[in-house]
């Protein structure tokens, strides 16, 4: 029996009179790569924002490993084991590659203001720096560790943002359009990278993506929404031949 990691139950988000997500239910099991797709404006990022605490749902529940995390702050949800990237890269522009990842590592620190003031946290800081070096080696970014993050090629910046998310030690990684702006070679490399980190870090991956070759190539299962409502789910083969999905993307009426 599959171990459920994320359970979304009748999730709804209203902004005034606009219903951005409407009664959405989903399940993601441990070790899966699950994609959420749909036309522009379908409510995908709104769903991500509710899962990660950016928005508090109007209705519904979100369970992580059976624990209700609905309405928690983003930092609390990260501590629970969910990390995410964004469609628009949000690296710390004034920091190096190493500093970007080390800063994320501090989320798991046990020291406080007092121990930091009296430098009683030296051992923990040394450990976090060693873990940062190890992580950068594992994702093949170590040779760039002293480069300014925003000086990297675009594709490397994307990988760094994912590495920074990994530094928070997530069990569930949310990727919001990770291939946005990438060329075909970078997209192919990203697909391999996602598979690699899923296995290496024992992750479950939940992604939004418009690049259908990537989605169909790496996803175990796909959920499709349109106008905030769930219209289909299944394997890539099942979804791509679903008449409701074809109608949503092509803007034609179902027969």
Specify the pLDDT at position 54. 95
Instruction: Give the residue from 137, 72, 63 showing the smallest Cα distance to 98.
Output: 137
Which DSSP letter does residue 87 get?
S
Q: What is the sign of the dihedral through the CA atoms of 46, 52, 57 and 61? A: positive
Residue ranges of domains in the chain: 4-250
| 42-74 tens-digit pLDDT | 999 999 999 999 999 999 999 999 999 999 999
Specify the pLDDT at position 251. 61
| 77-91 tens-digit pLDDT | 999 999 999 888 888
Q: Provide the β-strand partners of residue 199.
A: none
Please state, in angstroms and rounded to a whole number, the distance separating the CA atoms of residues 255 and 243. 9
Q: What is the sign of the dihedral through the CA atoms of 234, 238, 241 and 243? A: negative
What is the signed CA dihedral for 179, 30, 72, 93, rounded to 10 degrees?
-30
CATH number of this structure's domain 4-250? 3.40.50.300
Give me the tens of pLDDT residue by residue for the chain, a chain 255 residues long.
579 999 999 999 999 999 999 999 999 999 999 999 999 889 999 999 999 999 999 999 999 999 999 999 999 999 999 999 988 888 888 899 999 999 988 775 554 444 444 455 677 788 889 999 999 999 999 999 999 999 999 989 999 999 999 999 999 999 999 999 888 999 999 999 999 999 999 999 999 998 999 999 999 999 999 999 999 999 999 999 999 998 888 665 444
């Amino acid at each position: 029996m599959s171990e459920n990691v994320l359970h979304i139950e009748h999730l709804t988000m209203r902004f005034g009179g606009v219903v951005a997500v409407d009664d959405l239910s989903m399940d993601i099991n441990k070790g899966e790569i699950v994609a959420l797709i749909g036309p522009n404006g379908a409510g995908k990022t709104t769903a991500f924002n509710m899962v990660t605490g950016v928005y508090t749902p109007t209705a519904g529940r979100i369970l992580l490993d059976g624990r209700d995390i609905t309405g928690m702050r983003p930092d609390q949800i990260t501590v629970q084991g969910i990390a995410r990237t964004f469609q628009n890269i949000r690296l710390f522009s004034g920091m190096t590659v190493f500093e970007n990842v080390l800063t994320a590592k501090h989320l798991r620190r046990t020291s406080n203001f007092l121990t930091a003031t009296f430098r009683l946290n030296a051992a923990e800081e040394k450990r976090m720096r060693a873990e940062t070096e190890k992580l950068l080696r594992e994702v093949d970014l170590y040779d760039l560790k002293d480069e300014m993050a925003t000086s990297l090629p675009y594709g490397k910046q994307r990988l760094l943002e994912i590495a920074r998310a990994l530094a928070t030690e997530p069990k569930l990684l949310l990727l919001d359009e990770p291939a946005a702006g990438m060329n075909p070679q970078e997209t192919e490399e990203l697909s391999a990278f996602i598979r690699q980190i899923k296995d290496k870090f024992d992750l479950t991956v939940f992604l939004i993506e418009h690049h259908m070759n990537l989605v169909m190539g790496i996803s175990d299962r796909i959920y499709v929404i349109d106008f905030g409502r769930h219209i289909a789910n299944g394997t890539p083969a099942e979804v791509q031949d679903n008449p409701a999905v074809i109608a949503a993307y092509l803007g034609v009426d179902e027969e």
